[in-house]
Amino acid sequence: MKEGQPQAIHLKDYKVPPFLIETTDLHVELNEDETFVTATLRFTRNPDAENEKDLMLDGGKDLDTRLVEIDGRELLSNEYAIDDQSLTLFGVPDSFELKTKVAIKPQENTALEGLYRSGDMFCTQCEAEGFRNITWYLDRPDVMSVYRTTIDAEKKNYPILLSNGNAVARGEEGDRHWVTWEDPFKKPAYLFALVAGNLEFIEGTFETMSGRSITLQIFTESHNIDKVDYAMDALKRSMRWDEEVYGREYDLDIFMIVAVESFNMGAMENKGLNIFNTSCVLARPDTTTDAGYERVEAVVAHEYFHNWSGNRVTCRDWFQLSLKEGFTVFRDQSFSEDMGSETVCRVDQVQMLRAAQFPEDAGPMSHPIRPDSYIEINNFYTATVYEKGAEVVRMYHTLLGEERFRKGSDLYFERHDGQAVTTEEFTLAMEEANDADLGQFRHWYSQSGTPQVTVTGEYDSDAKTFTLDVEQFCPPTPGQPEKAAYHMPLAVGLLDSNGDDIAFTAEERDLATVRKDGEYTAVLHLREPKQTFVLGDVSEEPVPSLLRGFSAPVKLTYQYDRDQLMFLMKHDSDGFNRWEAGQRLAIDVIQEVVGQIQAGIEPMVDERIVRAFEHVLNEAVERNDDDGLDKAMIALMLALPSEQYLGELSEIVDVDSIHAAREEVRGAIARQLSGLFLSVYKLNKSEEAYAPEPTDIARRSLKNAALAYLMQPSDTEMVSLCVEQFEGSDNMTDTSAALRLLVNSASAEARDAKEKALTDFYNRWADEALVIDMWFQIQAACPLPNTLERVDALKQHEAYTLKNPNRARALIGPFCNANPVNFHDRSGSGYRYLADQVIELNGINPQVAARMLSPLTRWRRFDPGRQKLMKAELERILAQDDLSPDVFEIVSKSVEQE
């Protein structure tokens, strides 16, 4: 390490806070040039801490300190010291009142951490450590305080002044006014929020289970106020669900959401005042896709659920982030499953896990869901902490069952309400409420890497047993060469030759059984590195259905042949495994074609995949009017595994062969089944008005999946069908699907149509920021040659700016993450492009810059030529002056690890 490089912080060094802050009184005077923050803090020595004479407070380098006062006396310059990140008070008493006044410049805060400007409004983002950019504080989650906040601003431009809790006083003087907010619940500084602006709002009410009436308000700038009704409905559904499923009632009298255009994350659960990226709260049929609607519902729920899992019970330190995030993601996933199709949600979750978390866990940033160390905590808001964290909570649910899981969560909330705790407290509550032993299960918190589970099965026709030999292994990850065996639930079913579930038996100690209509699933407890399960009463040689519902976040291997996979695709009573069998079949067939291409042989696509798809499509046609048929599930089954996931499954990622092979297989399916695709497309067109209802969403997803195959060869007729949908649609789902297909089409017929469509689309939606984001995304994700030239040109577009995270992500993200053939172009131009963007963003918004980096960090997975090019770009970034800790941590870990 060079001198002056950022240092790592370790979990093992945790110490309780030296002081507690009983009350926090803030006075914030907002101005166009400077903002003044006066903080009056009531400190008492923490009885659990070692006695230290001096007290060090956290603060950012941009705090311009104007006053430091203790118990009403201004301190002399030798009584305290200030550096870039701390204010040290020398020789403090056991109990005292500190008053500080600082000047800050929110309008220059492009990192968007702390208090900043988004358009014409002021807003905050304090998680994880943004509050220290607002005032001197003990900015750590285990310091919880009661807040009273007065906001003072000019009336005309900032008629709305919001903070946490309830508004208790207001007044005005000349052209300025002020509002005082009081939050009766103790909270850590990361949950503080403040908003000031010229905002409109809609209002609703919710009656809680104990009969209290809560006022609900959603605020936006005036041009977006027509896009928040759906979020309001979603909020009410979330509040009801949390009462019914977890027994959790809302606690304040008011709950507010504010939509903000410039925001680093999706949304933030500040107590009583959630702040949302516009992309996670706005929805209107003509501007928002079905996926957008689903995202709004899920994120509104997620942030609301944090009121208990995160706010009432919070984290002791940031290593425990998964305590609130893993649990809350699991809660929002369960909510979405209850609102829509459980299986479709589960497939989406697993696809996300495989696309983002598995690669992370196999790369240089691999970390356990409870990391041991970090340089910059912002880098640990990861798929591992969130999505794998949610899988770990889901495993408690699977191992214990619904009722016992609820007993555990009740105990957790009851015991730790108002506390800042660790993941261990969560596990203890689950154990103690159920008299369960989760000792070995704790490895999920401390070990990184994706476990591999290999299963073989043998049928004994005399004994009527089916024996499963199961092995688990977790590959080495940075800092963890060897792993202990995990305790995990392995949900298993057995199918007879008719495709029905067999009601088999298993040993008591291994078994928890789930029996639904016609479904017989045993949850086996896998604990050993090698373990044998003997299943009895198996009347005939079965086809096993393994890891049903994706019961553990692992990579499972079983030597299925293609006929068995087709059988499971048709018959498995577990919807997730029906989809999974189709994926396995497709992977197998595509990998075969990859091998043919690499060997220079004419590619031959196995007919069986075409027949499997034909069966699925015939079912869609024959049962079109059947309400029980999940069309969204069929659409998912028609989607081949992504190139990224196919790459993930190979030793060395052969980007070009994977792309060519997948196209070959898609082409074969599209050509041979074009008639069926057209029938499915026509059957699922509808003249009815748009509604974001699950059945309608499912119908559109199936229709657009069919259109994608129809556009594969893109003859003239199909191009006009696509143009017709683009021009005639009343909703953004169909409009954007058609636009994407036109843009991606290589055919001569589509060439003129696509340019016209792009221009029309831009002109129509120029004032809708989120739609224009989509316009950038679609172009950046196009797999055709010369996309980088287009992306480069778009960087100069009048609507483009790196300062708005949504816009920056819209252009850079899809090109680098969802466009492998172009990003990995052999010339290295894609790598150079990403490095340039990261270097530029590093000076503007380090957090967003660091997040962009991940595709480059995976350089080890590619051929030597690409490795060299990718590594050179990482080294070029590392050589930059003024590298932020965020970017430094990810780049240095990527190049270091040998």
Q: Which residues are catalytic?
A: 303
Q: Is 65 helix (H, G, I), strand (E, B) or coil?
A: strand
Q: Which stretch binds Zn ion (CB under 5 A): 323-331, 338-346, 520-528, 768-776?
A: 323-331
Q: What is the dihedral of CA 622, 623, 624, 625, to 10 degrees?
A: 130
| Per-position DSSP letters for 17-43, written without gaps between them | -SEEEEEEEEEEE--SS-EEEEEEEEE
- For residues 278 and 311, which CB has a smaller minimum distance to Zn ion in the complex? 311
In the complex, the smallest distance separating the C-beta of residue 300 from Zn ion, rounded to whole angstroms, is: 12
- For residues 325 and 431, which CB has a smaller minimum distance to Zn ion in the complex? 325
The bridge status of strand 9-10 relative to strand 35-45 is unpaired
In the complex, the smallest distance separating the C-beta of residue 159 from Zn ion, rounded to whole angstroms, is: 30
In the complex, the smallest distance separating the C-beta of residue 303 from Zn ion, rounded to whole angstroms, is: 7
| Exposure class string for 64-87: b at 16+ Cβ within 10 A, else e | eeeebebeeeeeeeeebebeeeeb
Q: In whole angstroms, give the CA distance from residue 298 to residue 294.
A: 6
Q: Which stretch binds Zn ion (CB under 5 A): 324-332, 402-410, 714-722, 806-814?
A: 324-332
In the complex, the smallest distance separating the C-beta of residue 70 from Zn ion, rounded to whole angstroms, is: 37
- For residues 322 and 657, which CB has a smaller minimum distance to Zn ion in the complex? 322
- For residues 285 and 389, which CB has a smaller minimum distance to Zn ion in the complex? 389
Site for Zn ion (CB under 5 A): how many residues? 2
In the complex, the smallest distance separating the C-beta of residue 387 from Zn ion, rounded to whole angstroms, is: 12
Q: Sheet containing 194-197: which strands, arranged edge to edge? A: 114-118, 121-125, 194-197, 160-163
Q: Which stretch binds Zn ion (CB under 5 A): 328-336, 691-699, 781-789, 890-898?
A: 328-336
- For residues 98 and 321, which CB has a smaller minimum distance to Zn ion in the complex? 321
**Cβ partners under 8 Å of residue 159, min gap 6:** 177, 198, 199
Beta strands in 228-291 (DSSP E): 254-260, 267-268, 273-277
The token pair at 201 is 């709002």
Which letter does DSSP use for residue 884 in this model? -
**Cβ partners under 8 Å of residue 349, min gap 6:** 333, 387, 390, 550
Residue pair 118/69 in contact (Cβ under 8 Å)? The answer is no
- For residues 328 and 714, which CB has a smaller minimum distance to Zn ion in the complex? 328
Q: What angle do CA 790, 792, 794 make, to 5 degrees?
A: 70
Q: Which stretch binds Zn ion (CB under 5 A): 318-326, 494-502, 818-826, 858-866?
A: 318-326
In the complex, the smallest distance separating the C-beta of residue 302 from Zn ion, rounded to whole angstroms, is: 6
In the complex, the smallest distance separating the C-beta of residue 380 from Zn ion, rounded to whole angstroms, is: 13
In the complex, the smallest distance separating the C-beta of residue 184 from Zn ion, rounded to whole angstroms, is: 23
- For residues 380 and 690, which CB has a smaller minimum distance to Zn ion in the complex? 380
Q: In whole angstroms, give the CA distance from residue 139 to residue 147.
A: 14
Residue pair 382/360 in contact (Cβ under 8 Å)? The answer is yes
In the complex, the smallest distance separating the C-beta of residue 508 from Zn ion, rounded to whole angstroms, is: 39
- For residues 38 and 357, which CB has a smaller minimum distance to Zn ion in the complex? 357
End-to-end C-alpha distance for the chain, whole angstroms: 16
Binding mask 649-678 for Zn ion (x = CB under 5 A): ------------------------------
Which letter does DSSP use for residue 423 in this model? H
Give the type of residue at 291: A
CA 330 to chain centre: 11
Q: Is 98 helix (H, G, I), strand (E, B) or coil?
A: strand
Which residues from 406-445 bind Zn ion, rule CB under 5 A? none
The token pair at 656 is 């070009």
The bridge status of strand 420-421 relative to strand 314-315 is parallel
Instruction: Name residue, tokens 């559904």.
Output: 237
- Nearest Cα residue to 422 out of 11, 139, 127, 9: 11
Residue pair 502/519 in contact (Cβ under 8 Å)? The answer is no
- For residues 309 and 777, which CB has a smaller minimum distance to Zn ion in the complex? 309
Q: In whole angstroms, give the CA distance from residue 423 to residue 438.
A: 13
In the complex, the smallest distance separating the C-beta of residue 355 from Zn ion, rounded to whole angstroms, is: 20
Q: Which stretch binds Zn ion (CB under 5 A): 272-280, 321-329, 338-346, 539-547?
A: 321-329
- For residues 135 and 328, which CB has a smaller minimum distance to Zn ion in the complex? 328
Residue 428 φ then ψ, to 5°: -60, -40
Q: Is 257 helix (H, G, I), strand (E, B) or coil?
A: strand
| Per-position DSSP letters for 371-385, written without gaps between them | -SEES-GGGG-SHII
In the complex, the smallest distance separating the C-beta of residue 74 from Zn ion, rounded to whole angstroms, is: 41
Give the type of residue at 540: E
In the complex, the smallest distance separating the C-beta of residue 851 from Zn ion, rounded to whole angstroms, is: 16
Which residues from 191-250 bind Zn ion, rule CB under 5 A? none
Binding mask 150-169 for Zn ion (x = CB under 5 A): --------------------
**Cβ partners under 8 Å of residue 898, min gap 6:** none
| Per-position DSSP letters for 99-158, written without gaps between them | EEEEEE-GGG-TT--EEEEETTEEEEE-TTTTGGGTS-B--STT--EEEEEEEEEETTT-
In the complex, the smallest distance separating the C-beta of residue 719 from Zn ion, rounded to whole angstroms, is: 43
Residue pair 20/46 in contact (Cβ under 8 Å)? The answer is yes
- For residues 385 and 636, which CB has a smaller minimum distance to Zn ion in the complex? 385
Q: In whole angstroms, give the CA distance from residue 311 to residue 187.
A: 7
Q: Which stretch binds Zn ion (CB under 5 A): 99-107, 320-328, 636-644, 775-783?
A: 320-328
- For residues 265 and 706, which CB has a smaller minimum distance to Zn ion in the complex? 265
Which residues from 591-630 bind Zn ion, rule CB under 5 A? none
Q: Which stretch binds Zn ion (CB under 5 A): 101-109, 129-137, 322-330, 482-490?
A: 322-330
- For residues 325 and 648, which CB has a smaller minimum distance to Zn ion in the complex? 325
Residues of this chain that interact with Zn ion (CB under 5 A) are 325, 328
